[in-house]
Structure formats: C-alpha cells, structure tokens
Structure 1
C-alpha cells in the first residue's frame, strides 16, 4: 500500500465522522457513552478501504469480497450502535452514505486516471461538502427547524431520494465501463424505467403538497374571518354593557319627565338616548350569531358595489362546524359580491341567500346577477377571470370540499343574467 492509500483511509474516516455528526444534528439522535463503541466499530469497518481501493492482486478473491462486504455493510451495524437504534431512518442514513461517494468517485475518474487519486479526490470532496453543510447549520442555528422539516417530509420522498441517487450512480458508472453495451442492457435500461417511476412519484408528492398549501391557506383565512366576527360580537356586547350601565339613570330622568307631564321632552330624551347608543342594530337573524356577524360584514362590503344581501331562513348551530359554515357562506357571498362588482351601471342589485335545515339536512342556496359569461367546468368548478390564477379561483373548490366532507351534493347553474349555487349537506349527529 502506498502513502496515498493511507491518506484515503484517513480522509474516509474523517468523512464518516462528519457524516455521523451531521446525521446526529439533523435527526436529533440521543447521545451517550455507548457511541464511543459505535465510533470504534465504524473505524474497523473502514480499515479495509486501502486494500479494496488499491486494487492489487495480493489477496485472494474471496478475501477481497469479504473485505468489501465489511466495508460497505459493516457500517449499518456501526450506525445502529452509534445512534442506539435499528430503525428505518438508520437504514436510510446507511443507504444515503453509499451512493454520493460512488457518484463522486465516478465523476473523478472522468478527469483523473489514477484510481487511488480518484478515491482521494472523491472522499476529499465529500469532506468539504459535508463540513460546509454542518458549519452552515451550526452558524445559522437552524437545527430545530431542520428536525421539524425532516419529521414533516413524506416517507415517499425519502425513497425517491435514494432511488434518484442510485439511478444517478448507475448512469455515471456506465460511462467508465469497458463493456458499455452489456452494462447498458443490464443496468441503464431498467434504471430508465425506475426514473419514470421516480418522476411520477415526485409529481404526485408535488400535487399533494400544493393541495395541502391550498387547504392551509383556506383554513387560515377562515380562522382569521371567524376571529374577526367574534371580535365584532365582543365589541357590540361591550357597547351594550356600557349602555346598560347608564340605563338606570336614563330611566330615572324619563320617569321625572313623565311625572311632570312633559311628554314632548320625554320623547326628545328618548330620541337622544337612541342617538347616543352606538350599539349596532342587528341586520340579520340567521339563528347563528357567528353567521349573523358574517352577514353584517359581507353586507357592508356589498354596499360598496351598490348591492344588498337579502337573507331568508335559518342556519343550524349543530351538525356542522362554524368553520365549515363560514367556508361555504363567506366564499359563496364573496363570489356573488365580486360578480355584482362587474356591473358598470348604477342600478341597485340584490344577492339572495336562503338557508334551512330539517330532517338531518342543511340546505343552502345563493343567487346573484352576473354581467359576463360564467364557465362552469365538468368538475363543478368555475374558471377564474383573475390574472393571478395561482392565488384565486379556490372559492367554489373550497365550498365543494366541505360539501364532500358532509356527503352532500352541489348544483351550479348560470344563464345570461343569473348565477345560482344550490347545496345540500348531511348534518352530523355527533356534532348535534
């Protein structure tokens, strides 16, 4: 063995120690005295490296295969002792430790003809990359954030990363095979099929993550709206308490005016009391105080486009959550107000909202005038007319998601002058 072989061993050991430190930092493995035994076992598994990488014919083939097995697979046992568990994540870390060095080695062989120097360059590159990542994590103090990200990542993504690294290693290794055609048939062609599976899997994960982001944005908006409605109710209640505090004094004054037979002055005093009261008059009585506040808020917004919301019926307080009610009614009314806002005339407009519940069902219908062609797709969604399509067009989709959640049905219709959304949902007995 040459000096380069020993350098390869030292750099290989350093690379593994940094890799273990990085894995412990990101995955938050517990640390105890037994880890020293794991480090000792890890170094033992790396000792055959100079022999199998030097590629001399000074040892039998069987011994060479045994040493290769110890070098590659002995690390799995060492990792299990180091991290004090044998789990899927330890297996994943072991697999992750195999392919990147192989890729670096084959990339080095494209530029360096000496095999020993290739190994030294490959492991040195690994050391630089891993050390840089570790230093960056420590300096930015993002360990906790990375751990949360690792816990939240889909399991399929872990498999896809290993698959991608494996396929990349096969393609890179193929460039250095003397019998390239045979290698192509045995390894590269099957890998291409795996690459297609990997691409489909990544697309599915991306779609799933996009749906989750949309759902989170939708729920965040609804929670914000519901908080706003609660705050509005609390403000009204506070104003009422303030008015009630002075109510007794007002009665004393009114009684004295009536006793003095000052009817006109008593009436004026009543008018003054009414003017002083800042308690908001209740515009809607839906049977649900959250929806009452929502309707008041939406009606104020509708007034800005010369539109009035006319409500009839009752809204349930059980069988469906207030959040889901807000999703349905807020999105439906917002869409109706937006449609009315496209009218360029000064004519007053009406949005008719009807809600009712009986025999375990919730019925909801909203009708509004339209002033442009509305395209209803086959999946019962509406194509948004807004230029920012990534952040708009979810209103009806969100409503349909709630309808599906409650095993309901939805019907959308539009002609030249009117749009109608008709829903019926099954109320849940466990929420009643």
Structure 2
C-alpha cells in the first residue's frame, strides 16, 4: 500500500513539474480559475487511485501525468492545440535531465550505472523531500513573485526561434538522459563510459542553464521595450498637453480682448432695462468662458499632461474623467508617474468604451498625509464583466496597455502598495484601483509645496 501511495505522490510531482516548466519556461496560459484547478487535480488524483488498484504493474500510473498535461495544454490553448501536445517531450527531457545530474555524479565514483539505479528509491526519496520543501516554500513565500510575474510577463510569448531552440534543447536533454542511463549497455571500457557520462552531465547542466538564461534575457528585453514605448508615450502626452495649453491661452487672450466690449454691451442693456436680454447675454458669456478651461488640473504639470491627453481620447468614446483633490509637487520620476497614470486610465477607458453603461466616468482621487500619497482610480463595470473578473482573475478583465504589473513595479520603487477590487454602489459595480506611495520630503520639496500653496491661496 505504501508503494502505491508513493507512486501517486511521484506522479503528482511529475505533473506539477510539467505545469511549472510549461508556465515559467514556455509561458503557457493555463487555467486562471481556482475551481478549474481543483477539478483538474481532483480528477487526476482520483484517476491515480483507480489505476493504483487495477494496474498492478504501475505502468498506467506513470503515463497519467503525461496524459493529463497534454489535456491541460489542449484545453488551455486557443490555437495550435495539437502542436502543443508535443510540449510533453522537451519538458520531459528537462525534468529527467535534472534527475540524471546527481545520478551521473554518483556514477563517476561507482562501478556501474545499474548499481546506482538499484538505489533509485533512496535517491528519489531525497529528491522528493527537496522537491516538496521547495514547492511549499514557492507557494508560501513566492506569492509576491508569482503575482509580479503574472502581471509583468502576462503578454510575453516565446518567439519562433526561442521556441524552436527550447524544444530542440529539451529533446536533446531527453536523448542525453536516456543515453546516460543506458551507459552500461554500451559495453565499453569504464574510463570511456565515465568520460561520456561526465561530458553528458556537463552538457546537461550547460543546456539547462542556457534555457533559464534565455528566458531571463527575453523577459528583460520585453521590459526594456515596454519602457522605451512608455517614454515615447510620455513625450507624446507632453506635446499634446502643450498644444492644448497654447490653444487655451489663445482663447483666454481673445476673451480678454473682447471683455471691454462685453462690459459696454451689458451696461447698455441694463440702462435700457432689458433684463431678460442681459440675463441671456451673461449666460452665453459664462458658457464661452467655461469652454476656455477645458483642461483637468491636478496641481502637477506632468500628471496634467498625461491626464488631459487621455481625456482627449476618452471624449471620443463619450467617457468623462473627473479629478478630486490636488497632487502638487511629487518626488517621483516622470516616467513612473506616466507608468501609473497612463496604464490606470487606459485600463479604465478600454473597459468602458464598448460597454452599455449610461454614465461612463473615470473618477480619480488624490489624498495626502505627510509623506504618504494616496491615489484612487475608479470606473463602473458591467455586471457580466464583474463576474468575469472573478472567474478568470484580473488578467482577462484588464488586459490593456502595459498592464498592472508595470504599475506595481513603479509603485514598489517608492515602497508603496497597490490593491484593486470590485465594490458595489447601489445596483452599479465599480472597479477600484488604490495606490499608496511613500515619498521623501526634502527641504526643497517642502519649500516648493509651501510656495505653491501660497500662490494658489488667493484663488480659493
């Protein structure tokens, strides 16, 4: 009974390794719903227990992890489903080659590979202990890393050459593993056999390291490409802001130039006791003046440039943006402000533009207390979209711009915190993104903030 239970645990390990490599090396998009995962693993364990009693040789138990991983890839992929089934071979090579390395090392100090395989249970027991300790720590301590990975590289896919190279490397590792295990069957001198196994061990370690290095380099390349696009986006937002500012100043000068004529006209209307005409004239003049100040003002020039550029595009989809509170001077890099505000507003606009919500408004709120700056972005969502959000997580609800991952990275640079959730207000549901930033209050920033406050005081 213990041997059968051990086989089930070993099969579960193999399936978990398949999934981890598929997700973090091949960037496969598996289930996002916890219920789907519970059903998947529940079915797998149930099948293992059934075959445990009906298959005395244990052959089907060994096949089940391969079969279930193929089913997982087939169900998760939107295209190339059949081609995805062949992933099981290179991934199996990566897994088995990792196990082969310690066995190969032991072979260098023994007479034959068969003697090492005879102690297979002992060494696999050590491997099992290491695996489960590592996996538990990964689940327990790696939550923050997994969340960041999901957000930052959620749109990352392997290019054709990366995928071909990874597949070829995995298959080569599988062949090396089989050859190393079968070294006793070659009937060659011990020195040559051990040289071959030693070379194979080095080759396996090199290929596995190369795969990991390639993935890390690809992730870094994706990040810097996004950063370059974001810089370009920020410069464009600044340009649009300055154009709008120039137009506003032009309108202001025009109205100011005509103000004397307006006053004379109003004075004459009052003298002639044409109060109704006077009232209408004032209303028209007020409308004209209000049209001059078309911009949103946050108290921060950089954020003003970004928000007003987004407002221009949002108006095309009948989406309004409202600001509550003031930002003022912030000790935050311009690129980080662009990262936060561009992504947050883009996400909200994309969520609203094709919706049937009658009042499409993005609410932005600012609060500050000492060195702590609070930002909130809030927009309504449809009921169906809200349900979809929780069934498949944020990935499918908000999959626009550069994603929440870049926002989180910018926030964490300032020891901040980011959280997002759904809330109800009557019959309407809202998506809320809350950000807390901690800034260093320098003497210069305090003096600057004081000056801005004094300059703005008369307007209040």
TM-score by length of 1: 0.47
Identify which of structures 1 and 2 has the higher relative contact order when contacts are C-alpha pairs closer than 8 Å and 6+ apart: 2
Q: Indicate the structure (1 or 2) with the bigger Cα radius of gyration.
A: 1
